[in-house]
């Protein structure tokens, strides 16, 4: 797996996984540790150790290996509404030419928290978090100015019904 860790101008760390990355082979204990942290990312290593049958030190080492390998991140997940960003949208982009440089350029936008190269009617999808509709319009205009972007289509979120971070351990 080829991971590249970069910091943007705000000091936030971004992990980029390149095409051809192999999925990590996780044993059952690693999966149980991940499940414990998905339930509560602040759960003490001693508690995790009791649940999975390891010592606190062994859990600490395994968690560090999972973090270093890019298998997982432990982050604070925020509610954009509570932080003054009531407008969210998924933006479909049609592009011309090589997708990688366009995707990399989109990943630099502070307002974009998710970029994926897709198959189908859009070449790329980007999720944005905005202060209001005027801010969304400003972002759309900036996106349309990125070299290689032919068109955009915004799908405004009206209500979030489900959001989980529990995949990958079953």
What is the C-alpha radius of gyration for the chain, rounded to an integer number of angstroms? Answer: 19
State whether 36 and 100 are in the same domain. Answer: no
Beta bridge partners, 31, equal none
Mean pLDDT of the chain: 84
State whether 87 and 143 are in the same domain. Answer: yes
Total number of domains constituting the chain: 2
141 pLDDT above the threshold of 90: yes
Could you say which of 67, 88, 106 is where a domain stops?
Answer: 67
State whether 41 and 100 are in the same domain. Answer: no
Report the distance separating Cα 124 and Cα 118, nearest Å. Answer: 5
User: What is the rounded average pLDDT of the residues 126-146?
Assistant: 95
Closest CA to 29 of 74, 61, 73, 69: 61
Q: Is residue 146 part of a domain?
A: yes
Q: What is the pLDDT of residues 83-132, one digit of tens each?
A: 777 889 999 999 999 999 999 999 999 999 999 999 999 999 999 999 89
Helix or strand holding residue 113 (H, E): strand 112-117
Q: Is residue 162 part of a domain?
A: no
| Cα distance from N-terminal residue to C-terminal residue, the chain | 21
76 pLDDT above the threshold of 60: yes
Look at the pTM and tell me if it is higher than 0.75: no
State whether 59 and 103 are in the same domain. Answer: no
pLDDT for residue 163: 77
52 pLDDT above the threshold of 70: yes
State whether 85 and 49 are in the same domain. Answer: no
Closest CA to 139 of 100, 164, 104, 108: 108
């Amino acid at each position: 797996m080829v991971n590249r860790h970069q910091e943007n101008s705000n000091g936030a760390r971004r992990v980029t996984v390149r095409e051809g990355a192999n999925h990590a082979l996780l044993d059952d204990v690693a999966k149980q540790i991940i499940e414990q942290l998905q339930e509560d990312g602040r759960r003490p290593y001693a508690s995790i150790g009791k649940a999975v049958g390891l010592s606190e030190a062994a859990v600490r080492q395994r968690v560090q290996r999972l973090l270093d390998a890019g298998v997982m991140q432990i982050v604070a997940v925020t509610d954009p509404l509570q932080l003054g960003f009531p407008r969210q949208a998924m933006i479909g982009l049609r592009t011309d030419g090589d997708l990688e440089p366009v995707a990399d350029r989109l990943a630099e936008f502070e307002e974009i928290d998710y970029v994926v190269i897709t198959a189908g009617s859009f070449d790329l999808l980007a999720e944005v978090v905005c202060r209001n509709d005027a801010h969304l319009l400003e972002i759309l205009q900036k996106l349309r100015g990125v070299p290689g972007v032919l068109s955009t289509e915004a799908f405004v979120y009206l209500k979030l019904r489900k959001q989980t971070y529990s995949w990958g351990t079953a």
